[in-house]
Amino acid sequence: MSDDTLANQPPCRVGATAEDLAREADRAVLYGAILAAQRPGVRLKPNIAAAATALLPAVQSFLAGNDDEQAAYARSYAQACGAEAFLLSKIRVKG
């Protein structure tokens, strides 16, 4: 990374590795998919919209409490990007 690029980075990203930034991007996609599941029709940021829309069926399945491949994929995705606790906190309690 050049000095100019570093100067334009927020302090929380200084020293972040490419892996850190990739996990952050994956978390943003997951958060977008969760938001879209909770608020259909929400406008997502253009840089995550396509990926979040692709992940949406898996997130919807997980949040609905299904025990299928889609739900398992959503949980694995969340685990891989360090956001499993966040995903689990969004499960609707049926009752």
Instruction: Give the predicted TM-score (pTM) of the model.
Output: 0.81
Q: Which of the 8 DSSP states describes residue 64?
A: T
Residue 3 has pLDDT above 70, yes or no: no
pLDDT of 95 over the 50 cut: no
CA distance 26 to 32: 10
| pLDDT tens-digit map of 21-75 | 889 999 999 999 999 999 999 999 999 999 999 999 999 999 999 999 999 999 9
Tell me if 88 sits within 8 A of 62, measured CB to CB: no
Does the pLDDT of residue 1 top 80, yes or no? no
Q: In b/e form, how buried is each residue of 44-61, taking b as 16+ CB within 10 angstroms?
A: beeebeebbeebbebbbb
